[in-house]
């Protein structure tokens, strides 16, 4: 640990957000990966660190323009993060002057591109079998054997989507943790509460696995759009209002495309004292 801390002395980072879903980004293309569980958890502490919903580490790639690793605020690994992917894509496009790039994550190689002032990313096709979500055993994904009749969808990470009459009335903090750790989800799950406003508009709130309530969740927005269409409640293309803003979702033949805003907030540098305290 001491050698790693010495190596990371003066480690630079950036703070971004997409629709209020906030991230720390670390660019490690010029070196080996530096993020570990203790660093992720320390940075994720909003009182003693920087605070984030997810951390994204950018690395060099032999299969895409860049590789991208995600971490949750509790120090656990995150399998997918759509809004962070969009923010990293904006950062890379600003650096290179390009309007499109490929990003390899644990989800596979994703395509991202500029869309006017917004950024779009193809999050791939949803995972719609019990073992790919994953669940602990074979059940009907459209009607899980849980209170509230939720839907299970995988988007590189698991999601449990509830359809409710009034999303703003849901006690997300009270209900979310119990479903996050339900034994039906062996890797735990993100939990979404979605209100259908029309065939092309959804209001959604989210409890994120390993983090808690967040203002937006890109993979959760994708999963909610998929679940709503599968239930026959919406078309494949919808607008979605989250606590932090709006995202556009479009489930196409090549995957679920998500489009929305990004914002660079500030950059900073970690101190040696902080790193030694991890």
- The binding site comprises 21, 54, 72, 82-83, 157, 190, 208-209, 218-219
CA of 21: how far to CAs of 29, 80, 206, 243, 246, in Å? 24, 14, 11, 9, 11
81 is catalytic: yes
Residue 274 tokens read as 């902080």
Q: Please choose, from the candidates 261, 237, 235, 266, the residue with its C-alpha nearest in 3D space to the C-alpha of residue 247.
A: 261
The answer for residues whose C-beta is within 8 angstroms of residue 192's C-beta and 6 or more apart is: 159, 160, 161, 162, 204, 205, 206, 207, 217, 220, 223, 224
87 is catalytic: no
Q: Cα–Cα distance between 128 and 136 in angstroms, integer? A: 14
Name the active-site residue from 87, 160, 217, 222: 217
Name the active-site residue from 81, 87, 160, 222: 81
Confirm if 87 and 27 have CB atoms less than 8 A apart.
no
Q: Cα–Cα distance between 84 and 86 in angstroms, integer? A: 5
Radius of gyration of the chain (CA): 18
Binding-site positions for substrate read: 21, 54, 72, 82-83, 157, 190, 208-209, 218-219
Catalytic center residues: 81, 217
């Amino acid at each position: 640990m001491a050698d790693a801390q010495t190596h990371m002395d003066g480690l630079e980072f950036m703070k971004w957000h997409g629709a209020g879903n906030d991230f720390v980004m670390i660019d490690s293309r010029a070196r080996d990966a530096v993020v570990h569980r203790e660093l992720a958890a320390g940075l994720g502490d909003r009182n003693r660190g920087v605070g984030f919903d997810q951390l994204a580490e950018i690395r060099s790639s032999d299969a895409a323009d860049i590789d991208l690793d995600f971490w949750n605020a509790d120090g656990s690994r995150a399998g997918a993060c759509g809004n962070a992917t969009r923010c990293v894509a904006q950062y890379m496009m600003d650096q290179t002057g390009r309007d499109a790039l490929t990003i390899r994550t644990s989800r596979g190689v994703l395509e991202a591109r500029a869309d006017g002032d917004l950024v779009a990313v193809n999050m791939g096709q949803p995972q719609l079998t019990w073992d790919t979500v994953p669940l602990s055993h074979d059940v009907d994904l459209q009607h899980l054997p849980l209170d509230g009749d939720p839907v299970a969808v995988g988007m590189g990470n698991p999601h449990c989507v509830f359809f409710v009459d009034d999303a703003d009335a849901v006690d997300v903090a009270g209900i979310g943790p119990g479903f996050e750790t339900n034994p039906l989800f062996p890797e735990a799950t993100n939990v979404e509460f979605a209100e259908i406003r029309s065939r092309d508009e959804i209001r959604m709130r989210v409890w994120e696995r390993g983090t808690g309530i967040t203002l937006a969740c890109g993979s959760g927005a994708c999963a909610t759009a998929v679940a709503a269409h599968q239930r026959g409640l919406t078309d494949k293309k919808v607008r979605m209002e989250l606590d932090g803003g709006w995202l556009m979702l479009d489930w196409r033949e090549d995957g679920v495309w998500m489009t929305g805003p990004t914002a660079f907030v500030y950059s900073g540098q970690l101190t040696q004292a902080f790193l030694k305290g991890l």
